[in-house]
Amino acid sequence: MDEVSDTHVKALRAFNRFYTGRIGVLDPYLGSPFSLTEVRVLYELAHRDQPTASELARDLRLDAGYLSRILRRFESQHWLQRVPSPADARQSLLKLTAAGREVFAPLQQKSREEAAGLLAPLAVRERDRLMAAMSQVQRILDRDAQPAGARTIVLRDPRPGDFGWVVQKHGELYAAEWGYSAQFEALVASIVAKFIDSFDPQWEKAWIAELDGERAGSVFLVRQSATVAKLRLLILAPEARGLGLGARLTDECIAFARAKGYRKMVLWTQSHLTAARHIYESRGFRKVKAERNDAFGKRLTSETWELPLSAAR
């Protein structure tokens, strides 16, 4: 291994000072009463499916005693629940309570707003260059720490061509995996067309997920009424599954809806879409209606799910 030059060390330290100062990590996190570490633990609890404390300590490289103190604080505030592990009675699974999610939601939204504020002055081409540079930095520095095949995930706004991809991907996947007819693709096309024609950026938003630079998923949040937002068109390509990406896309929708003051979120799904239903249920959505119907060449049970948001305001 080549010796590291003093010039390179100074340059890296200078960049660290610049960036940590730019994003304000030296202060309480975004003006909240939480430290950066506490917010990171909250983030992991919100986006993982019931991890153990040892998994968090390992992945976040935290001292076990320090993490234990953070978790005890969260429990004392009724933000965290411990669930016995069915696989190992000596282990407890960690799960954010509804109160914990209400605490985390405004922090996530504030973080999104801060990031958007950093990017807003940049032209689209500059943003793309910045994203590419960040991905390269991550790949270089994590090449030894990450397992082989570690992936780069980006959530971004739609660009021309993305909407056609959303329609195509829904048509292809639902036909291949569930035997849906072209009627379903037509429905998705009509939803996308309506979103484009009547898009109101003040109240609506869509996200495209990229995996290693390729489109891999989407979700839309549309205005159903002055108080109700609707989650639509959540989809992941097969290669993007198992990475927590569906949960991240759902969380972005919820955070946006809360920030805009919607009082409720709704969605429409099918009973056989178990992975999506698990995400919705873990986020607090509850099924309020189910009905049998013939659609897309299949006999289906369609479901309506709701998530109250007013308690988080």
Going from N- to C-terminal start, the domains of the chain cover 6-119, 152-312
Helix (H, G, I), strand (E, B) or coil at 230: strand
The mean pLDDT of 15-43, rounded to a whole number, is 78
Position 2 scores a pLDDT of 66
> Which residue would you say has higher pLDDT here, 151 or 4?
4
Position 312 scores a pLDDT of 42
Phi then psi for 192, rounded to 5 degrees? -65, -45
Q: Residue 87's closest CA among 128, 125, 58, 51?
A: 51
pLDDT at 143 over 60: no
- What's at 96, amino acid-wise? L
The mean pLDDT of 182-196, rounded to a whole number, is 97
> Which residue would you say has higher pLDDT here, 90 or 11?
11
pLDDT at 169 over 80: yes
Fold held by 152-312: Aminopeptidase (3.40.630)
Position 205 scores a pLDDT of 97
pLDDT at 84 over 60: yes
> Which residue would you say has higher pLDDT here, 220 or 98?
220
Position 66 scores a pLDDT of 92
The mean pLDDT of 295-311, rounded to a whole number, is 91
Joined tokens for residue 84: 């016995």
Beta bridge partners of residue 292, listed in sequence order: 301
| Cα distance between residue 214 and residue 237, in whole Å | 10
Query: What residue has token string 């205005």?
Result: 223
List the end-to-end C-alpha distance of the chain, in Å, as a whole number: 54
Range 6-119 classified under CATH 3.40.50.970? no
The mean pLDDT of 249-272, rounded to a whole number, is 95
Position 148 scores a pLDDT of 47
What percentage of residues in the chain have a pLDDT greater than 90? 52
- Considering the entire predicted model, what is its pTM? 0.59
What percentage of residues in the chain have a pLDDT greater than 70? 92
Position 51 scores a pLDDT of 86
pLDDT at 156 over 90: yes
Neighbouring CB atoms inside 10 A of 235's CB total: 19
Q: Residue 30's closest CA among 121, 106, 130?
A: 106
- Residue 283 pLDDT class (50, 70, 90 cuts): very high
* Range of lowest pLDDT (6-10, 100-104, 252-256): 6-10
Query: Whole-number mean pLDDT of the chain?
Result: 88
| Cα distance between residue 53 and residue 63, in whole Å | 11
